[in-house]
Structure 1
Amino acid sequence: MSSNRFPVGLLSGAVLGAFGGWLLSTQQSLCRGDWYSASPSKATAVAEQSGEYSWLKTLCQGAPADCQRTVESCLAQTRKGEVSAPASAVSAAASVASATPNSGITKVRTQFPWMRKKRLPCMSAVVSNCSQRDCSHMDLYQFGIFQATSMAGIAAEFRTFNANYSRFWGFDSFQGLPDEGTNHRAALPPNFSQRQIQGDYDKMAKAVWFPGSFNMRQAFRTSNFMKMIDAVEEKINDPRANFIRGFYNESLTAATFRLLPFRPALYVDIDVDLYSSTYQALEWLAQFGLLVPGTIIGYDDWVTGGENGEQRAHKDILEKFPKLRMAPYTSPGYSHWPGCFIVTETR
């Protein structure tokens, strides 16, 4: 099965897709399975369309008539909610992700030293497991891309140890943080540093996590989506990386889940700073069964945002989904990072 890259942008309920050549697919693979591209060359942007599903129709402009019939059939299934994640994939995911890592595998020696504090305590055991077992039925998820440093580091760890997975999904607005309603910008008091307000969510939200901060357009000095994708892809250097654009209230929808080939989560990296964005990411993953026993979740700002940031989102999601249970987790051989959890039960 092919796993050609599928960079996608979602904005205001519509999707801006990028494809090389026409997608050749059966009805099921268009709706849930692998995507096929007739050409691996650099894709060109398809014009943004209005409406929740109309973007799919752009795939078939100028293509054979049977492509259009396939799309219409997929849309009909999607509207009825008949397309869902295969149960067999969920079952297999649990067995791989929850496996005990081989004690003979040493610590991951990273080319990104900053990963030792937060990422490696969460993901090292996953990398070890997937260097020995088949994890190709599972995906990696990154919420919050910015300069793609985290995605690059995570992808590099998997490559270094020949650890396998299916796709690496990156979600970002490409416009910076959203307006949460409580994070309107306010300057720090004189002689205060960011370190002094860590753990105080209200102050962090106003001084650091205000609307528009961590804007990829500023980071890459361009407003051109495809140029940003080019820069991010070059940095990540992994053809399995895919990108979904949009504020999470617009992009994390039922349509997104049903129309793209998401698989159960192997590792989820949450680096979105705000309570609202963290909650939306977790809610979407939980709602559509992408969190399975053995899934590892790492929170970047667990400490920085204090009890009202990612910590509150984590707590609120567990209350909303009472069958979803998680436990603190640390990969063997690493110092404990409090923002790392393993899914232990989902039903």
Structure 2
Amino acid sequence: MKKKFLLNQVNKEPYIDLNIKDLQKWNKLDEITYAQMQRQKYKYEFFQKAFDLIYDNTIVGDYFEFGVHRARTFRFAMSQAKRRNMKKIKFLAFDSFEGLPDVNNNIKQNDKFKKGLLITSENKFKNYIKNFNFYKNNVKMIKGFYEKSLNKKLIFSLKKQNTKACLINFDCDLTQSVDQALKFSMNFLQEGTILYFDDYFSSYKGNPNKGIPNIIKKRFKKSKFNIVEYLNIGYAAKSFIVYNK
């Protein structure tokens, strides 16, 4: 009996149900749905772990998100903060609410980074998070393309409120946008801040000398802070933890 059982198990190679019947009639909608289900699952698991780390280390601060298309990860952050009864945390949404800007080399970075894509209007964003009414007074939307919106006036205003970040989500795709967002965010780092770069390997085919990895290296070279690698997320994202030099 044992031999027969083992033989049956071998016949189940590769031990994972590949759902061949589904693949026979696989279409574009299936492709998109499958990809998003996988990607969002990995991202949600990251937010669970990140907020565990924040809670366990008593890292007091606010959540920053640069690029809030469809408010998916924004909602992940809000739900995880609520599960830990983080009542004072604020959620800052930085977005043009007009889609990706034209930085002259969008397609060179990635042929999916076309000008105007990934639009979520202010009203749609508000609608996506409307059920999180327990945080309705904790959300701040900062509208505009970063070269104008991330200005000295905003820095002064946030510093006046003693703002520090516990988790910063850079999900703005373009290398230039990530650079502008990271430069701005350097003003609000503290020991323990978690940095999440959603498109770490998505620009310039992951070339560390051209894309987001290079920007991170340059920004922290002269900073009073340093970073250590934390978690890899899905196929292209990476996170870091900030610490004092």
Normalising by structure 2, we get a TM-score of: 0.71
Of 215, 224, 229, 1:313 maps to: 215
In the TM superposition, residue 252 of structure 1 has moved relative to its aligned partner by 0.6
Matches within 5 A, 1:2-41: none
Alpha carbons 2:43, 2:73 under 8 Å: kept: no
Alpha carbons 1:122, 1:341 under 8 Å: kept: no
Q: 2:112 is matched with which residue?
A: 208
Quick check: 1:178 aligned with 2:68? no
- Equivalenced residues, count: 201
Alpha carbons 1:144, 1:272 under 8 Å: kept: yes
1:250-309, CA deviations, whole angstroms, 9 ceiling, x for partnerless residues? 1111101212436111011110001001001110111x2x11111100111112221333
Q: 1:276 is matched with which residue?
A: 176
Identity across aligned pairs (percent)?
Answer: 24
Secondary structure of 1:330's match? Answer: strand
- Alpha-carbon spacing, 1:123–1:314, altered in 2? closer, same or farther (3 Å): farther
Matches within 5 A, 1:77-88: none
Q: 2:202 is matched with which residue?
A: 304
1:210-259, CA deviations, whole angstroms, 9 ceiling, x for partnerless residues? 21111124xxxxxxx4x345314316553222110000011111101212
* Letter in structure 2 aligned against 1:166: I
1:290-346, CA deviations, whole angstroms, 9 ceiling, x for partnerless residues? 111111001111122213332222122123x34331110139xx9998611001226
Q: 1:250 is matched with which residue?
A: 148
Alpha-carbon separation, structure 1, partners of 2:173 and 2:202: 8
Alpha carbons 2:198, 2:236 under 8 Å: kept: no
Secondary structure of 1:284's match? Answer: helix
Quick check: 1:341 aligned with 2:229? no
Of 255, 263, 267, 2:167 maps to: 267
Greater mean deviation of Cα atoms: 245-254 or 116-125: 116-125
* Letter in structure 2 aligned against 1:139: D
Q: Structure 1, unaligned stretches of length 5 or more?
A: 1-111, 185-201, 218-224
Secondary structure of 1:339's match? Answer: strand
Alpha-carbon separation, structure 1, partners of 2:192 and 2:150: 22
Of 317, 323, 337, 2:224 maps to: 323
Matches within 5 A, 1:64-213: 114-118=39-43, 120-121=45-46, 124-127=49-52, 129-130=54-55, 137-183=60-106, 202=108, 204=110, 207-213=111-117
Quick check: 1:293 aligned with 2:191? yes
* Letter in structure 2 aligned against 1:343: V
Alpha carbons 1:328, 1:338 under 8 Å: kept: no
> Which 4+ runs in 1 deviate beyond 4 A?
112-116, 132-135, 334-338
Alpha carbons 2:51, 2:81 under 8 Å: kept: no
In the TM superposition, residue 119 of structure 1 has moved relative to its aligned partner by 5.3
Normalising by structure 1, we get a TM-score of: 0.51
Secondary structure of 2:217's match? Answer: helix
Alpha-carbon separation, structure 2, partners of 1:337 and 1:296: 17
Alpha carbons 2:198, 2:237 under 8 Å: kept: no
In the TM superposition, residue 126 of structure 1 has moved relative to its aligned partner by 3.1
Alpha carbons 1:145, 1:170 under 8 Å: kept: yes
Alpha-carbon separation, structure 2, partners of 1:174 and 1:126: 27
Which is helix-richer, 1 or 2? 2
1:75-110, CA deviations, whole angstroms, 9 ceiling, x for partnerless residues? xxxxxxxxxxxxxxxxxxxxxxxxxxxxxxxxxxxx
Alpha carbons 2:54, 2:166 under 8 Å: kept: no
In the TM superposition, residue 116 of structure 1 has moved relative to its aligned partner by 4.4
Alpha-carbon separation, structure 2, partners of 1:229 and 1:116: 21
- Higher relative contact order structure (alpha carbons within 8 Å, sequence separation ≥ 6): 1
CA RMSD across the alignment: 2.9
Matches within 5 A, 1:221-232: 225=122, 227-232=123-128
* Letter in structure 2 aligned against 1:303: F
Secondary structure of 1:344's match? Answer: strand
Alpha-carbon separation, structure 2, partners of 1:247 and 1:235: 27
In the TM superposition, residue 134 of structure 1 has moved relative to its aligned partner by 5.7
